[in-house]
Amino acid sequence: MPCNICLLLSLLLFHLLWQAIGATSSPSPTSNGRLRPCEGNAFRLRGGESSTAPSEQEDESLDELVEELIASNRKLVVVTGGVLSGIGKGVTASSIGVLFRAMGYRVTALKIDPYLNVDAGTMSPFEHGEVFVLDDGGETDLDLGNYERFLSVCLTKQSNLSTGKIYQSVIEKERVGKYLGKTVQVVPHVSDAIQEWVLQVAKTPVTHFSTQHTEEYHYHGKQPEICIVELGGTLGDIESMPFVEALRQLQEKVGYKNMCFVHVSLVPVLGSPISEQKTKPTQHSVKVMMQLGLRPDFLCCRGKEPLEPSVKRKLSLFTSVPDQAIISLHDVSNIYRVPLMMMEQNLPSMLAQRLRLPKYRKKGVAYDQVPDTCQLAKRSSIIREWTVLADSVDAPENDCTIAMVGKYCDQGDAYLSVIKALTHAAIATKQKLHIEFIDSSDLEPTADDGGVSSSSKDRLLRCDGLVVPGGFGSRGFEGKIEAIRTARTRQIPFLGICLGMQAAVVEFARNIAGIANAHSAEFVDTENASSHEDLIMFMPEGDRTRMGGTMRLGARETILRRDSLAYQLYGQKEKIMERHRHRYEVNPDWVNTLEPLGLHFVGKNTDASGERMEVVELDREVHPYFVGAQFHPEFTSRPEKPNPLFLGLLQQIKKQKQDAQNK
Ligand code: GLN
């Protein structure tokens, strides 16, 4: 008998141990002995502790979540848009977040995209602009980039909700029988799931980005006090209906004082020679909003010039929004002025009053009558920093032009974060940034002219620096190689990102190491594979059949060599964390051939294999600034803290400009 007990106990122990091993998911070598990155690469997410869907995190009911929000005095600010898309709803929503930060609140954000894609990962940059990548590997809408930059936080993939995601979660629940035989419907099942998602995101702590780019970060673990919810698209769109209905119901549940609506609209100017600010489009969009059961508390009106008082009064009459709560968001010299412009129009005090925020509230005053109660916020370090930022954008010491050689040059938003990161570095070095977009196909040697298109090449040569950003597909790859060859041989400061870094390795292999058929496996058909040398290879653990979420994604650690430029640029940090999104990587078998010739692989990953090449450089004696990164440094650049690799590029250009002046 005791023996049986012993046997049972040891079986139980074995089972528990087995589970524990499974739970920690020990890295398993792939066929060639390398480790799968997701398994072996232990890193803590900067953006909150967990990366599972809110609905999976805890099984709290909607009622419990509502109660929790009310008890915690957490507030929801919903930003909607009318008239047309692309009028700056994202910037408006993020700027409101800056105001709350200045008022001393912890802020988080949720972007709702009513499209059916589960995430933005499979969307073409031509169609939808860039895919923004988060620490946790979430491939999201580019507006998440605005939030991270403005709020100085790291968000999680839950902060981007799409119709695809919500339906996926509802259908999964239905499949496992969680609806107990009920007919599953848009209302109440989908609308409840949306409300639960909003409330979960609103209470999930976010990480503040205080010491970014390193392994240190500031995770205070405290829940947010404010959640900005941006509803994508334009009110009235068919696909946003379930979200609108869910938000309407949510306001009923959490109460008027805990949730307000800011509607962003357009006031066009028409007529000549006497022009007039036209209110009708805004009137109509507010009417649509009200028909859907939502009532705007604030109107943010985009336009060229400040809204005239008579126009505000007219809008107020037709929309029932008090005229003080109609905010003029006219064109300004740079986006850092947007929160300041809102502040001048007393928006923080009105928001505080409308949402009964205890620190700023003035009892017994209507929210649109409240005097400026936010003096403290105005003097906050955040507003001081933003004022300095906005002023320095307007007072540059010199101009500089960066060539951006890529294939999505017609779609301005495709490189949004790269442009922002360059802008942050330009501001920090007091330079006015110009970007020369050059389609890489135009730099390819063509059969007709036997050489590269001269006008594009001339444009490249007139630039002070070159950035070759990330990309997919073979079109224009040879043009990128040509651009990099030009930058290398003509000493033009160069930063290659992801595909740009891979192209730099291929260029060096072809033109310095004499490997004429060096290429990337991404662009060679399997039939022709033997005729090429794969300097860049498909990652062994990659998935060639499923596209969504199967790349090497998110924040990973890189170890920098102490004698490298990158190590200096990152403030002499050996370990850095940057975000990734790629399927191909440098073939480690070639490193020993290229390194002695001068291409230094100064950054490597910390997966157990230690074989992923993350950063390449040329010696500074050979080239003033030639750096390539497998990761995307643009995603962690912040206005107050430019990413070191962009800063290094712009600092080098500044130095060259100053040297030229002093000659
Ligand atoms: N296409 C390349 C890869 O998958 C580069 C990707 C990128 O630039 N983001 O590895």
Closest CA to 199 of 109, 79, 69, 73: 69
How high is the pLDDT of residue 545?
Answer: 58
632 is a catalytic site residue: yes
Closest CA to 496 of 628, 653, 646: 628
CA of 470 to the centre of ligand 1 (A): 6
Residues 6+ apart with CB under 8 A from 589: none
How high is the pLDDT of residue 450?
Answer: 55
How high is the pLDDT of residue 369?
Answer: 83
**What's the CA gap between 107 and 153, in Å, rounded?**
9
**What's the CA gap between 570 and 496, in Å, rounded?**
17
Q: Which of 498, 557, 617, 623 is catalytic?
A: 498
CA of 561 to the centre of ligand 1 (A): 24
Q: Cβ distance 96 to 75 under 8 Å? A: no
How high is the pLDDT of residue 15?
Answer: 47
Closest CA to 483 of 509, 513, 459, 519: 459
**Torsion from C-alpha of 471, 472, 475, 481, nearest 10 degrees:** 50
How high is the pLDDT of residue 451?
Answer: 60
Pocket test of ligand 1: the residue of 581, 605, 630, 634 to mutate, having most ligand atoms within 8 Å of its CB, is: 581
**What's the CA gap between 636 and 421, in Å, rounded?**
8
Give the residues of the chain that fall short of pLDDT 70: 1-58, 125, 208-220, 446-453, 529, 541-549, 608-610
Q: Atom 8 (ligand 1): residue with closest C-alpha?
A: 470
Neighbours of 363 (CB within 10 A): 6
Tokens of 187: 């209302």
Indicate the pTM of the whole model: 0.85
Q: Atom 7 (ligand 1): residue with closest C-alpha?
A: 470
Pocket test of ligand 1: the residue of 580, 583, 585, 612 to mutate, having most ligand atoms within 8 Å of its CB, is: 583
Distance of CA 337 to the CA centre of its chain: 21
**What's the CA gap between 108 and 88, in Å, rounded?**
19
**What's the CA gap between 337 and 260, in Å, rounded?**
23
CA of 587 to the centre of ligand 1 (A): 14
Strands 518-520 and 533-538, sheet pairing: parallel
CA of 498 to the centre of ligand 1 (A): 6
Residues paired with residue 263 on neighbouring β-strands, in sequence order: 80, 299
Phi/psi at 526 (nearest 5 deg)? -60, -30
Q: Atom 1 (ligand 1): residue with closest C-alpha?
A: 472
Measured from the Cα of 498, ligand 1's closest atom is: 8
Measured from the Cα of 469, ligand 1's closest atom is: 8
Closest CA to 554 of 119, 161, 205: 119
How high is the pLDDT of residue 76?
Answer: 98
Cα first-last separation, the chain: 95
Measured from the Cα of 632, ligand 1's closest atom is: 9
How high is the pLDDT of residue 336?
Answer: 92
Measured from the Cα of 551, ligand 1's closest atom is: 4
Ligand 1: lining residues by beta carbon, under 6 Å: 470-472, 498-499, 522, 581-584
528-576: per-residue pLDDT in tens?
767 889 999 998 766 655 555 678 899 999 999 999 999 999 999 999 9
434 is a catalytic site residue: no
Which amino acid appears at position 381 of this protein?
S
How high is the pLDDT of residue 29?
Answer: 31
Measured from the Cα of 536, ligand 1's closest atom is: 10
Pocket test of ligand 1: the residue of 474, 477, 502 to mutate, having most ligand atoms within 8 Å of its CB, is: 502
CA of 139 to the centre of ligand 1 (A): 14
CA of 355 to the centre of ligand 1 (A): 45
Q: What is the secondary structure of 599-648 as a DSSP string?
A: EEEEEEE-STT---EEEEEE-TTT-S-EEEESSBGGGG-BTTB--HHHHH
634 is a catalytic site residue: yes
Pocket test of ligand 1: the residue of 404, 407, 418, 498 to mutate, having most ligand atoms within 8 Å of its CB, is: 498
Q: Cβ distance 120 to 126 under 8 Å? A: no
